[in-house]
Structure 1
Amino acid sequence: MSNRPNSPLRAGARTALASALAALTLPAWAALGGAPMTVPVDATTTATAAPVAHAASTAASASGTAPNAQYTVRATKFSSGTTVREYIGADGNVFGIAWNGPSMPDLQALLGSYFSQYASGVKAIHAARRSRGPVAVEASDLVVHSGGHMGSFFGQAWLPSALPAGLTGADIK
């Protein structure tokens, strides 16, 4: 029996090993409408609690008590230089995501179950204008703006029905 380096068994084992290693090194993104991402070891993160809606915040300040956080913004900077900001509601779910940096994040992972709706919207936009460029997919339950060029990508996505009181899509940045 020869010990051929390209035998089917060894090729299959190499493929399985490569797939397992790739899965370990891929960043874990947040899924819009779901739980925040698990931060990879090669990334840094900061979180900021955002104040309650403007009227409630003013009333709390007048009474001398600190307002409760209505949502949290957690920014994660990856080793690639790309930053993803997650807007996390009081219920612990992500209602908005924004990104910018030299690498385009994995929108399928970021948008989760909303990705197919986004992809359909992008396909319709590209068919209508027959060119590439920034896109804005706006539906009643999902808004995604994305653009940029090699080395500089940006965008934001949010769920209009999940935005906390006093917050608009313009605040997701």
Structure 2
Amino acid sequence: MKLRLQCLLAAAAFANCLSAYAALGSSPTYTATTTASSTQAVMRLSATSVPYTVSEATLADGTLVREYVGQSGAVFAVSWHGPHMPDLSSLLGSYFAGYLDTVNQQHAQQGSAFGPATVQRSDVVVQTGGHMGAFVGRAWLPTGLPAGVSSDDIQ
């Protein structure tokens, strides 16, 4: 019995070290029931009293990821800041390909493949910035923002 408990605890600890993120438009990865001690869910109210939940998780690499979850249960925005850039393909999910196409076009026009990027498409908005050791960014679905919630609420 003791060995079984130790195995379960070890598996839970390992699972909490994985760099899993919720993709925009899907169910959240970090919820109020997540057992990671570094995760917390905070209920927020917009100016029009529309509730949404912000789940925060500090990943093993020190990056803080916030998931903004609407009443439907889907992630409508994410934000991050920390010493490492998160895996945007995981964060953006099905929106990543369109984001990447736009960024590649921007970099080709600028003649550089580095630096901050702002992608504003009808389906997704992504803003990234920072520098080595201090990366920041946020992404949201313009049509997924609950009524009364603006992009300024995504911090």
TM superposition score category, shorter chain reference: 0.7 to 0.9
**If the length of structure 2 is used for normalisation, what is the TM-score?**
0.81
Q: Does 1:26 align with 2:7?
A: no
Give the partner amino acid of 1:75: E
1:63-78 aligned at under 5 Å gives the runs: 70-78=51-59
Give the partner amino acid of 1:31: A
RMSD of the TM alignment (CA)? 2.0
Map of 1:143 onto structure 2: 125
Partners of 1:43 and 1:152 in 2: how far apart? 23
CA displacement at 1:134 relative to structure 2: 0.6
Partners of 2:96 and 2:26 in 1: how far apart? 13
Map of 1:101 onto structure 2: 82
Structure 1, unpaired ranges of 5+: 1-23, 58-68
Q: Does 1:117 align with 2:109?
A: no
Find the structure with the greater CA-based Rg. 1
Q: 1:157 aligns with which of 139, 148, 154?
A: 139
**Which segment is superposed worse, 39-48 or 152-161?**
39-48
Identity of aligned residues (%): 47
CA displacement at 1:26 relative to structure 2: 3.5
Map of 2:62 onto structure 1: 81
**If the length of structure 1 is used for normalisation, what is the TM-score?**
0.73
Q: CA-to-partner distance for each residue in 1:93-131, whole Å, 9 max, x for gaps?
A: 000000000011110001000000110011011011112
Give the partner amino acid of 2:26: G
Q: 1:170 aligns with which of 149, 152, 155?
A: 152
CA displacement at 1:42 relative to structure 2: 6.4
Give the partner amino acid of 2:84: S
- How many residues are matched? 138
Q: Runs ≥4 in structure 1, deviation > 3 angstroms?
A: 38-43
Map of 1:129 onto structure 2: 110
Q: Does 1:37 align with 2:57?
A: no
Structure 2, unpaired ranges of 5+: 1-14
Partners of 1:140 and 1:33 in 2: how far apart? 14
